Amino acid sequence: MSERLIPAWSLTAEAAGSIGIPAEWPERVTRGWALDGATGEGVDVCILDSGVDGDHPLVGGLESAVAVHLEGDEVVVGPDLLGDVCGHGTACAGIVRSLAPACRLHSVRVLGEGNTGSADLILGGLRHAIEQGFEVVNLSLSTTKRRFAELLHELADAAYFRGTVLVASAHNLPVESYPWRFSSVISVGSHEGTDSFEWFANPHPPVEFFARGIDIDVAWAGGSTLRCTGNSFAAPHVAGLSALVISKHPGLTPFQLKSILYLTASNTGGPT
């Protein structure tokens, strides 16, 4: 997990010579350069969702699992005693594992307490995940509550600057929702293909990428598998791809990672 960096607010003439950033970028960024041989090893991926069944064979174990709940008005993070209250978090974890088999998976459960206060729990869970320094956080969820938008925006920017990649599923409802609309996250919608390594860069944002999101056999509660469709399954595909790229090229910033995903998308760089 990355260390917090001290922000620099200006650049002196003396310092300019000391901030060289190692540039080992090829002339052309290809999928081979980005992904070949990558397993996700050493990368921490967090599933912010309904909890994860770590014992599911398609999930293959969890490094940590916490649950966020409300005590009065206070958001508290504690051990997760319930596991997956729906099955969806397990599905997302299984998708990430299928792409990045050696990554370390973490669960932050923000659902299960009902609708009241749910936006507080999502905010609290996201804040916790960013503080942990996870490289990738999957957010297959959104909130329509306007008063949380500004706080979510601040958190998304904080994650962006400290090196945590937030991957958020886009909405296809005619409503304003967050955090997928923010440019500091990677937003993902679905395409109709069946190849988990096919993804497209969208020339017409705010949805930035399209990944596999239809007819996917996913892990579910109770050790079962289900066939599922939805943008919430497209996001963990990009989270898994992100883990692969970061494991091969440690230290990438979210800006650099998004650029690589753009340059190697099926409609730009393609699978070369």
C-alpha distance from residue 229 to each of 29, 70, 102, 212 (Å): 31, 31, 25, 9
227 binds another protein (CB under 8 A): yes
Pick the binder of another protein from 1, 55, 172, 250 (CB under 8 A).
172
Question: Given the complex with another protein, which of 1 and 82 has the nearer CB atom?
Answer: 82
Question: Taking the CB of residue 193, how many other CB atoms lie within 10 A of it?
Answer: 17
Contacting another protein within 134-163 (CB under 8 A): 140-146
What is the spatial distance between Cα 167 and Cα 139, in angstroms, rounded to a whole number? 6
What is the spatial distance between Cα 123 and Cα 152, in angstroms, rounded to a whole number? 7
What is the spatial distance between Cα 102 and Cα 139, in angstroms, rounded to a whole number? 20
176 binds another protein (CB under 8 A): yes
Pick the binder of another protein from 9, 115, 204, 272 (CB under 8 A).
115
| x/- map, 47-86, another protein, by CB under 8 A | ---x----------------------------------xx
Question: Given the complex with another protein, which of 42 and 117 has the nearer CB atom?
Answer: 117
Size of the site for another protein (CB under 8 A): 44
Question: Given the complex with another protein, which of 85 and 102 has the nearer CB atom?
Answer: 85
Q: What are the strands of the beta sheet with 64-71, ordered from one edge?
A: 74-79, 64-71, 104-109, 44-49, 136-139, 165-169, 186-191, 209-212, 200-201
Question: Given the complex with another protein, which of 40 and 189 has the nearer CB atom?
Answer: 189
3-state secondary structure 111-150: CCCCCCCHHHHHHHHHHHHHHHCCCEEEECCCECCHHHHH
111 binds another protein (CB under 8 A): yes
**Binding footprint of another protein on the chain (CB under 8 A):** 50, 85-88, 111-116, 118, 140-146, 169, 171-177, 190, 192, 213-215, 220-222, 224-232
